[in-house]
Structure formats: C-alpha cells, structure tokens
Amino acid sequence: MSQIALPLEQTPSPEQAGYLVTAANAGVHRHLENWQEWTHHTMILTGPAASGKTTMAAAFEAETDGLFLDDAENYDDTEIFHLWNRANEEQRPLLLLSAKPVSDWEISLPDLQSRLAASLHMEIGPPDQAMIDGLFQKYFAIRGLTISEDALRYLEKRMVRTYAMVRQMAQKMDALAIESRKPINLAIAKLALRHFDGDDEKVDI
C-alpha cells in the first residue's frame, strides 16, 4: 500500500499518490494491508475530518480492486446492505468510511445492524507530531515550497492539534506567503497562528 501523499485538500499527481503512515494511523494501515483477514470482507473506518480516510480508501481501491463508500452514514440502509452483500458474494473487500461511529448512523434495518456489528471497526487516531510535520511538508512540497524547521517547532508547541487545523494553518500560511512574497518561515507561522487565535497584532514578515 502506497504511503506518500497526505490527507489534504489537493488532488495529488500520480507520483504523489498514497498517504503518510505514523502512529496515528499505523493500525489502520496494517489492516488495509491484510484485508484478506477481514471478517465478512468488510472494514468500517472512522476518523475526524481531513484525517485521510478518503485518500487511504482510494489507494486501497486502486491496489485491491476493493469497494468503498465515503460518508457511509448518509446512505440508505438498503444501499449499504446491498453493497455488503455484493462484497461477500464477489469475495471483494468493502471499506465503509465515516466521521461518525456506527452507533450514530441511525440504522434501522436489523440485518444490516448485525452485519456491521460483526465487521472489523478501525479508527484513525489524533495526529501525532510526525503526522503534523509530514502534512505541512507535503502541502508545501506540492506547491514547490518548503516550511522552515523553526516554523514547525513553533507550531508544535502552540497550535490546536487536529487534522482540520493543520489544513487551515497550511492554507493560511500559503496565502500569507503569497501576499508577502516570502518563504514559509517562522514569521509567517506566527502570523497565521495569531489569525486563528483572534490576535490581529502586526507581525513583520
């Protein structure tokens, strides 16, 4: 399974396809690699927004000819039920993605409830520092840019540690760098962080 590209908004080019594996998602990656062992050929993958679920699923689908359903909680019970049956009839792995645990899907079909309960459940954990650094580096690498080490270390101690915030911070730093025609340095990181903290104090960049 490819392990290069990261769960940000950009659509990577073929040479950037894949995802980063750290402690935050290593268990998920291990099960994707060993899909033949899934109970009933199905894995339910949950995790917060921007955590890379769709990126992982796309790489999985391409390499295994498996099936996947994004935002599975938004589909009708019968649609999920038929897809589950198809995966088992065709002996193909099925990956169901959601930001919500199955208990919050409001499933009313008893047969589907029992099948999903018997399936493998995995969750992507909060981003560790290796994931955060890698996400920032990949975001800017796609644009032919780099982020300085001191900027990474500054953000490490101060920013809210969520996948969504990594994406928002990267986008804000990118915009500030374009405006100022400066590299992604410590001053840019400070200004971006102050924006999300509601601090509009002037910072020289």
**Which residues are CB-contacts of 158 (< 8 A; sequence separation ≥ 6)?**
193
17 φ/ψ angles, rounded to the nearest 5 degrees: -70, 145
| Predicted confidence (pLDDT) per residue in 127-177, tens digit | 999 999 999 999 999 989 999 999 999 999 999 999 999 999 999 999 999
What average pLDDT does range 12-29 have in this prediction?
75
pLDDT of residue 200 exceeding 60, the answer is no
pLDDT of residue 201 exceeding 80, the answer is no
Q: Name the pLDDT band for 1 (thresholds 50, 70, 90).
A: low
Q: Name the pLDDT band for 198 (thresholds 50, 70, 90).
A: confident
Tokens of 2: 């490819």
Q: How confident is the model at residue 202, as a pLDDT?
A: 56
Q: Name the pLDDT band for 199 (thresholds 50, 70, 90).
A: low
Q: How confident is the model at residue 72, as a pLDDT?
A: 97
| Predicted confidence (pLDDT) per residue in 82-116, tens digit | 999 999 999 999 999 999 999 999 999 999 999 99
Q: How confident is the model at residue 197, as a pLDDT?
A: 87
Q: What percent of the chain has pLDDT over 90?
A: 84
Q: How confident is the model at residue 69, as a pLDDT?
A: 96
Q: Name the pLDDT band for 7 (thresholds 50, 70, 90).
A: very low
pLDDT of residue 5 exceeding 50, the answer is no
Tokens of 50: 């921007």
With vertex at residue 13, the alpha carbon angle to CA 55 and CA 28, rounded to the nearest 5 degrees, is 20
Higher pLDDT, 202 or 78: 78
What average pLDDT does range 45-58 have in this prediction?
94
Q: Which domains does the chain have, with CATH numbers?
A: 14-123 (3.40.50.300), 129-197 (1.10.8)
Q: How confident is the model at residue 139, as a pLDDT?
A: 92
Q: What is the CA radius of gyration of the chain?
A: 19
Full 3-state SS string of 49-79: CCCCHHHHHHHHHHHHCCEEECCHHHCCHHH
